[in-house]
Structure formats: C-alpha cells, structure tokens
Amino acid sequence: MKKSLSFFLFIVFVSCDAIFLEDITSLTVTPQAPLNNSEVDSGSVTFSWRLIDQAELYEIQIAEPDFQNASQILLDTTLSSNTIQKSLDVGDYQWRIKAMNSDYETAYQTINFSVN
C-alpha cells in the first residue's frame, strides 16, 4: 500500500510540475547579433540571442525596411534554437525576437540594422 501511494504521489507531483510553467512575460530576450543600429556585410547574416529558462520556442521576424513600413516580411518563423542565418541584400532592416512556452510569451525585442 505504501509503495502504491508513493508511486501515485510521485506521478501527481511530476504531472503538476509539467503543467505549471514559469510565467516569462516579464523577461526580456537579449539579442546578441546583429545589435541595434549595427552595419553588417551583405550575404548570410547570423541572428543570435540569449536563451531564456522555461522558454520552449522563439519567434523571429525580419522586415524590410521596418515593421511599421514593411515592404516585405522576409522571415517569420518559430524555432527552438537561439541562432538562424538569412541571406540579405544591401538595405535597411529590422528584426524582432520573442520567447514563448505553452502558456506565456515575452514582448518582442526589436532591432534596427543595415546591410552594406
């Protein structure tokens, strides 16, 4: 009986722990590259950011020239890693990133940059 009760409590504890995720809405994704107002060479640009504990996915978007006046949304994807590469031509761009888990998401961090 003790073993059955212990096993039952263990299952309930593990299940509850999996259900309750940390609220990440007050956290901020920290972009690492390209940084705000930076200039990068044309070709393949590597976008990177710091991981957030309890985040399962990251949504990254890239617009030309920016999100308010977008002539194009060049990338809109969700991934679990903290880096992605995209080939970009000469021009002005804006990228943004947010973290998500199944219950919560952070605000976007938006970065302006230029490709020379």
What are 75-100's pLDDT values in tens digits?
999 999 999 999 999 999 999 999 99
Mean pLDDT across 4-10: 53
Q: What pLDDT is attached to residue 7?
A: 53
Q: What pLDDT is attached to residue 86?
A: 97
Structural domains in the chain, sorted by start: 23-115 (2.60.40.10)
Q: Is the peptide bond before 31 cis (omega within 30 degrees of 0)?
A: no
Angle at 62 between CA 96 and CA 110, to 5 degrees: 20
3-state secondary structure of 52: coil
Cα separation of 57 and 82, whole Å? 9
| Per-residue confidence band for 9, with pLDDT thresholds at 50, 70 and 90 | very low
| Per-residue confidence band for 18, with pLDDT thresholds at 50, 70 and 90 | low
Cα separation of 59 and 19, whole Å? 22
Please state whether the predicted TM-score (pTM) of the whole model is above 0.75.
yes
